[in-house]
Amino acid sequence: MKIFHSIRPQAVRTWYRIHKWSSLICTAFLLIACITGLPLVFMDELIDLTQPHEHPVATPAGASLVSLDQLVRQTETLYPSLHAYAVALDDDEPRVFVTMTATPNPKSAADLHAVVYDAHTGKQLKQPQFGGSFLDAVFRLHRELFLGLSGELLMGAMSLSFVLSLISGALVYGPFMRRLDFGTYRSQAAARVRWFDLHNLLGIVTLSWALVIGLTGVMNALATPLFGLWRAQTMPALLAPYRGQPVPQRFASIDQAMASAAKALPYMETTSVLFPNAVVGSSRHYIVWTRGKTPMTSRLFTPVLVDASTGQVTVAKALPWYLRLLEVCRPLHFGDYGGLPLKILWALFDVAIIMVLGSGLYLWVSRRRTPIEKELDRLVALKEEESQGV
């Protein structure tokens, strides 16, 4: 707490004004983000509850997987008017998703048609209900307010304002609480004093967590432009040797492409394959996505470009630092990497932040005889007298 008391008196006034206005600017947006964030913390559990699906048959440990090429051929037979877009392995169950599309650049889930198979037997499983669900709407509201990229950037700006309010609030906390014990809550005081103490108590207790959520929220809001930057700067250089070459008449085996990627990165595991696509990737390459095999690295992904005509690796290069940082930020933001206990902790912190925002709004709109600014001036004057030895 010494750092809070060492701030110069005049600076305290400035930090308070910064705290007040940065909080007011982002409060409404942060309330939306926190309220929608609660169900998103438990998204996996809610999906299992609200969107039940057919489970694969039980198989012995180490059972071989069905050929991905075979599953793609089956899907193309079912939907001859569509084209294979991607193949993905389920993280939680031995299932394979073969995604078909009529356009090389699908704009939403409605443009995609996924067929699910048992990864061991190749049996087609009952189609889960994707897209258009309540959770999809909640996620879009949380992420971009149904405004697309402009909404994402707006939420990023609000997250940045939130971080500024947290830092300024922490710097003002000391002068306000200098004559009280840390975390004091005066339960017998007037209602406004109790709300003020609750605001300060919850704010300082959740400070570290809230800073993590705010900073990761800023990074998540930049996901679309950051990936666009990577595609614009890195992909053209990697694909320069193939510029002007025709699309292969026949594509190499998907199983071979994944095996080549696994051989190039033995410490990673393959998770999905994006088919040759001139719009979002390369017209001559599979993009095989891999991730770390350990709990600590399972959120770090590395793309591997595999020549679609030969099935051999063209390049296996880690993502740039800003995308690696983004990958780390995503699980930290939602707390979905430590199982149910961590999710419950994240939800409790989320509720606490809702109370901080609500109490701050109450303190701003409620009337009182002595405004906070006057109380702040009194505390600053006392500090000035102490510093002058009065």
Same domain as 380, residue 262 = no
CA dist 289 and 281 (Å) reads: 12
Share of residues in the chain with pLDDT > 70 (%)? 87
For residue 371, pLDDT over 70 is answered with no
Same domain as 255, residue 108 = no
Please, what is the Cα angle at 98 between 81 and 59, to 5 degrees?
140
Q: What is the pLDDT of residue 381?
A: 61
CB 228 within 8 A of CB 385: no
In this prediction, residues 325-330 reach a mean pLDDT of 88
Question: Which residue range(s) make up the domain with 188?
Answer: 2-44+138-221+337-387
68 vs 197, residue with greater confidence: 68
What value does the mean pLDDT of the chain take?
A: 85
In this prediction, residues 138-164 reach a mean pLDDT of 95
For residue 22, pLDDT over 90 is answered with yes
Same domain as 18, residue 143 = yes
Banded pLDDT at 6 (limits 50, 70, 90): low
Specify which residues 10 forms β-bridges with.
none
CA dist 201 and 207 (Å) reads: 10
H or E element in which residue 291 lies: strand 285-292
Q: What are the tens digits of pLDDT across the range 252-281? A: 999 999 999 999 999 999 999 999 887 777
Residue appearing with tokens 């390369």: 282
Kindly report the length of the chain: 390
Assigned token pair, 207 = 């400070």
140 vs 126, residue with greater confidence: 140
Residue 325 lies in a domain: no
Same domain as 147, residue 128 = no
* DSSP labels, 360-372: HHHHHHS--SS-H
Same domain as 271, residue 209 = no
Banded pLDDT at 76 (limits 50, 70, 90): very high
Same domain as 345, residue 209 = yes
Banded pLDDT at 80 (limits 50, 70, 90): very high
Same domain as 217, residue 142 = yes
Q: What are the tens digits of pLDDT across the range 336-356? A: 777 889 999 999 999 999 999
- Beta strands per DSSP E along 26-73: none
Domain count, the chain: 3
Same domain as 315, residue 241 = yes
Choose among 371, 289, 284: nearest CA to 327: 289
Q: What is the pLDDT of residue 51?
A: 74
Q: What is the pLDDT of residue 3?
A: 45
